[in-house]
A and B are shown apart, each in its own frame.
Chain A
Amino acid sequence: MGFDVNDMEAYLKDAIDKGYLTDRIMKKTPRIAIWHSCNNYRNKTGTQWWRENYLKHIELLICTELRMTGSAQSADYVLSAATDYERWDGRETTTNLNFTLFGQAVKPMFDRRTDWQIYQGLAKVIQEKAKARGIKSILYGKRTIDLDSIYDEYVQNGELDTDEKALKWHHMKSTVLGGEKGYEKFVKEGYVQAKGDGKYGPYLDDAPSRSLRWQAIDKMPGPMKKQKTNTGRFQFYVDHEYHIKLDQMTPKPQYTDKWRGGPQSPRRPDGTPYQLVMNYPHTKWGIHSSYRENQWLMRLQRGDVYLYLNPKLMAEKGIKDMDMVRVYNHVGEWFARAKEWAGLPPYVVHTEHGWDHQLSKNWSHYNNLNCEFLNPLEMAGGKKGHIVYTGNHTGNRVYYETGVDIEKVAG
């Protein structure tokens, strides 16, 4: 995209100076971390650098997980979480109007606990310890956290000490789930339809859940409650200074011929551009799902992690469909099986993301091939309603950033 490590530092400094990003991340490194509901090693760019540099600072890493994922393997404690089938819980999706019940088909097996139980349990212990040690409260940023009553607060003095009570409480607080009557339907039939005005729009019978009625049809973005988008504005052309500087005002879907070898091309340490750019968008086989490795879904793929390659490139490299390929650059390597796909330009290679490293040969991972922790576009901020990231956010991929070479290997 046309920036290097020094530019990156300059963006970070600038973003903090201008208040786009909080300076907390610079002042104090984290000491204890809880990773919840997120397999960071699978999802985050530059996995191996994360491991090396992040773990160094962390004295205690706790993971809430369903199984021993890549991330859980690095944790000091793994809190074994109940799966969706074992929980009494609810969920909304962005695509339909229904709030859906996780009806707890079975109680949590083994020693698993539901999320609500896990955090209740933690709060309880923290409160007990704080009391025993005579600690009242701590300051966290601008907030004071009362450690000696954290559990009482969490469960509202016992009112919310079970999953069931917490779920009902949530339901009754909602303005769109129909109160007591809605709750009755919800627990009887497993779903209830959202109706009425939500935070960012109305739930309409004949429109998708995110109807965008206020924003796109009634065109009433603005600062008033009921008229809000997430950012207060809708953007198709992003006019933030960083976007302009990096020539990223509009989405550019393709790394075209025009870009190759140009300033945006990823380069080797000696300055020569890589032959290939790697691209790894969302997979259709497990978007935000814990069940990426489900056997039935895997049978609908090829049973192994694969890399899409243009047939011309395959011919050039002597690679055949289903051959094992080593994908490498100066930061790391990864292995995958070749899959022919003429839908790709010969200078781009492509995999669908979401694979855990255990599925790859030698437990390698494509996130070992990239190195950006932060994306300069995600440091954008200010008061003009641009989308902002918090700084706790780990960077999304930079589309043209990862340059690679490939070769056929055994296996």
Chain B
Amino acid sequence: MSDFKGRQLQIVFDLNKCLECHTCTMADKLMWTNRSGREYMYWNNVETMPGHGYPKGWGNNRNQTETGSGQILGGGFKDVVLEEGRTDGKVKSRGPVQREGKDPDLENDYGIPWEYNYEEVFNPGDSHDTPGATGIRPHYKGKEVVPKWGPNWEEDQGAGEWPNHWAFALPRICNHCAHPACLAACSRKAIYKRQEDGIVLVDQERCRGYRHCVRACPYKKVYFNFSTGKSEKCVLCYPRVEKGVPPACFAQCPGRIRFIGWKDDKNSAVYKLIHEWKVALPLHPEFGTEPNVFYVPPLGNFKFGGDGEITNERVIPVKYLGALFGGVENVKRVQGIILEEREKMRKGIKSELCMTLIGHDNADRFQLNVGGVPYKTAEEVQPVKTQFVTPSEDDAKGYKGGV
């Protein structure tokens, strides 16, 4: 495949701001993945790093634990050489796509989407304060198992030891790569990258469910739908994006960590962060897919010394961050710039970088620029004529709220 020539949306997640609240995950779940064989999928997920992540052991050569050892699911391209001196993960040369990774297992690597047997759990047994439930707990409908994995299984676990334990949140969606491994691996040519925005989609008509894409995506962001027998993935909410509305997980993020805009729009926040300030780095550029989601790496807090005093050393090892975000040098440089700019702000000098990262208003973070405005709300695009009807006006409700 030759280089992508179309227009590309780019994305920045500022990890220093993520609250690990999973609102993004729930927005995605509500919008796309709560039905029809998608229950186990998390097109958007948030995982505690370091850890095995979701699915368990995603990555190539190393997984995302502190040591990088244990189960590794594989994928990506062979023999990747990155262009030197760049921070955006541009690839100089790459070998063939690696399709021979492991198919993640539903029970062990994703985790069964449990259906709780609420009736059994909440109803009393012989007396009012003894449980009615029997069997293995927790009480799942149908299948009685102790869960083995889940989308947030390692919440807060991280690494290191008290009081210098360390962890940070890593929200992940499909990277809508410029050179997608999923697309390269598909022998049916069912995966395509849209010219108008670079969104990577699986054509549900063409897909035959071979799952080469699942094995080839090193980020494990393609999921196999066991009900339909086809592969599915994050669609970057393209029906919204086409109309200028940011994807649901972006719009809902209370931490305001998410930025979206065009690679060719020099005024966009994403352009400034990725290409001007170069403080947003791709996740594992060495996989060779040229991801379009970029991360501002976390600074982390300071280590405690022996007497509980605060030292100058950061608690998150930069070596680990380097392994995730394209090398220690890149991460150190980004951290240096951010600390310097923060220092400016402390002295009362306005820092353009800090203001961009704060992104006070939606318009500061979302520049989709459809119809001459930076972004639109879902309500603007699809107005709801009557959102609420007062009880007194609503005869259909047949209810007035009195006694």
- Nearest B residue to A254 by beta-carbon distance? B163
Are A300 and B131 touching (Cβ within 8 A)?
no
Our pick among B155, B157, B403 for the contact of A121 (Cβ within 8 Å) is: B403
- Within 8 Å CB of B150, what residues of A? 299-303
- Nearest B residue to A348 by beta-carbon distance? B162
Are B137 and A117 touching (Cβ within 8 A)?
no
Q: Flag the segment in A6-14, A260-268, A273-281, A356-364 that touches B.
A: A356-364
- Within 8 Å CB of B159, what residues of A? 342
Are B155 and A301 touching (Cβ within 8 A)?
yes
Are A189 and B387 touching (Cβ within 8 A)?
yes
Q: Flag the segment in A158-166, A221-229, A230-238 that touches B.
A: A158-166
Are B115 and A295 touching (Cβ within 8 A)?
yes
Are B392 and A164 touching (Cβ within 8 A)?
yes
Our pick among B34, B130, B167, B388 for the contact of A188 (Cβ within 8 Å) is: B388
Are B153 and A302 touching (Cβ within 8 A)?
yes
Q: How far is the CB of A121 from chain B (nearest CB, A)?
A: 4
Our pick among B113, B388, B403 for the contact of A117 (Cβ within 8 Å) is: B403
Are A296 and B26 touching (Cβ within 8 A)?
yes
- Nearest B residue to A69 by beta-carbon distance? B122
CB within 8 Å for A161 and B402 given contacts A298-B116, A299-B113, A300-B22: yes
- Nearest B residue to A308 by beta-carbon distance? B156
Are B129 and A73 touching (Cβ within 8 A)?
yes
Q: Which of A267-322 contact B (CB under 8 A)?
A: 284, 293, 295-296, 298-304, 310, 322
Our pick among B146, B152, B165, B390 for the contact of A300 (Cβ within 8 Å) is: B152
Are A299 and B114 touching (Cβ within 8 A)?
yes
Q: Is A340 an interface residue (CB 8 A)?
A: yes
CB within 8 Å for A295 and B114 given contacts A73-B129, A342-B162: yes
- Within 8 Å CB of A203, what residues of B? none
Q: Which of B101-134 contact A (CB under 8 A)?
A: 111, 113-116, 118, 121-122, 124, 128-131
- Within 8 Å CB of A144, what residues of B? none
- Nearest A residue to B400 by beta-carbon distance? A162
Q: Flag the segment in A25-33, A101-109, A129-137 that touches B.
A: A101-109
Are A345 and B390 touching (Cβ within 8 A)?
no
Our pick among A188, A302, A310, A339 for the contact of B387 (Cβ within 8 Å) is: A188
Q: Which of B146-192 contact A (CB under 8 A)?
A: 146-147, 150-153, 155-163, 165, 167
Are B29 and A296 touching (Cβ within 8 A)?
yes
Task: Determine the distance from Cα of A254 to Cα of B121 in the docked complex, in whole angstroms.
Answer: 35
Task: Determine the distance from Cα of A295 to Cα of B150 in the docked complex, in whole angstroms.
Answer: 13
Of B131, B137, B158, B165, most A-chain CB atoms within 10 Å: B137
CB within 8 Å for A358 and B131 given contacts A107-B398, A117-B401: yes
- Within 8 Å CB of A121, what residues of B? 403
Task: Determine the distance from Cα of A293 to Cα of B131 in the docked complex, in whole angstroms.
Answer: 16
Of A68, A88, A284, A411, most B-chain CB atoms within 10 Å: A88
- Within 8 Å CB of B147, what residues of A? 302-304
Q: Which of A47-94 contact B (CB under 8 A)?
A: 67-68, 73-74, 88
Q: Is B21 an interface residue (CB 8 A)?
A: yes
Task: Determine the distance from Cα of A108 to Cα of B21 in the docked complex, in whole angstroms.
Answer: 30
Q: Which of A177-224 contact B (CB under 8 A)?
A: 187-190
Task: Determine the distance from Cα of A107 to Cα of B400 in the docked complex, in whole angstroms.
Answer: 9
Q: Is A343 an interface residue (CB 8 A)?
A: yes
Are B162 and A344 touching (Cβ within 8 A)?
yes
Task: Determine the distance from Cα of A88 to Cα of B22 in the docked complex, in whole angstroms.
Answer: 28
Interface code A376-411, partner B: CB below 8 Å = 1, 0 otherwise?
000000000000000000000000000000000001
Interface code B298-316, partner A: CB below 8 Å = 1, 0 otherwise?
0000000000100000000
Are B392 and A67 touching (Cβ within 8 A)?
no
- Within 8 Å CB of A340, what residues of B? 157
Are B401 and A363 touching (Cβ within 8 A)?
no
Q: Is B346 an interface residue (CB 8 A)?
A: no
Task: Determine the distance from Cα of A189 to Cα of B401 in the docked complex, in whole angstroms.
Answer: 21
Task: Determine the distance from Cα of A116 to Cα of B399 in the docked complex, in whole angstroms.
Answer: 14
Are B128 and A73 touching (Cβ within 8 A)?
yes
CB within 8 Å for A343 and B388 given contacts A295-B116, A299-B114, A299-B150: no
Q: Is A120 an interface residue (CB 8 A)?
A: yes
Q: Is B391 an interface residue (CB 8 A)?
A: yes
Interface code B223-265, partner A: CB below 8 Å = 1, 0 otherwise?
0000000000000000000000000000000000000000000
Of A120, A190, A358, most B-chain CB atoms within 10 Å: A358
Are A363 and B131 touching (Cβ within 8 A)?
yes
Task: Determine the distance from Cα of A74 to Cα of B29 in the docked complex, in whole angstroms.
Answer: 37
Q: How far is the CB of A280 from chain B (nearest CB, A)?
A: 15
Q: Is B92 an interface residue (CB 8 A)?
A: no
Q: Is A124 an interface residue (CB 8 A)?
A: yes
- Within 8 Å CB of A124, what residues of B? 403
Task: Determine the distance from Cα of A359 to Cα of B118 in the docked complex, in whole angstroms.
Answer: 10
Q: Is A373 an interface residue (CB 8 A)?
A: no
Are B308 and A256 touching (Cβ within 8 A)?
yes
- Within 8 Å CB of A117, what residues of B? 401-403
- Within 8 Å CB of A108, what residues of B? 399
- Within 8 Å CB of B25, what residues of A? 300
- Nearest B residue to A295 by beta-carbon distance? B116
Q: How far is the CB of B169 from chain A (nearest CB, A)?
A: 12
Our pick among B20, B162, B402 for the contact of A120 (Cβ within 8 Å) is: B402
- Nearest B residue to A258 by beta-carbon distance? B308
Q: How far is the CB of A360 from chain B (nearest CB, A)?
A: 9
Q: How far is the CB of A382 from chain B (nearest CB, A)?
A: 33
Are B116 and A284 touching (Cβ within 8 A)?
no
Are A363 and B161 touching (Cβ within 8 A)?
no
Are B114 and A358 touching (Cβ within 8 A)?
no
CB within 8 Å for A164 and B308 given contacts A116-B401, A303-B147, A342-B165: no
Residues of A that sit less than 8 Å from B by CB: 67-68, 73-74, 88, 101, 103-104, 107-108, 113-114, 116-117, 120-121, 124, 161-164, 187-190, 254, 256, 284, 293, 295-296, 298-304, 310, 322, 339-346, 358-359, 361-363, 411
A-B contact pairs, 19 of them (CB 8 A): A88-B391, A101-B388, A116-B401, A117-B403, A124-B403, A187-B388, A188-B387, A296-B26, A296-B29, A298-B114, A299-B113, A300-B151, A303-B147, A303-B150, A341-B165, A342-B160, A342-B161, A359-B121, A361-B137
The 8 closest A-B pairs by CB, nearest first: A163-B401, A343-B165, A162-B401, A103-B388, A107-B399, A300-B152, A121-B403, A303-B138
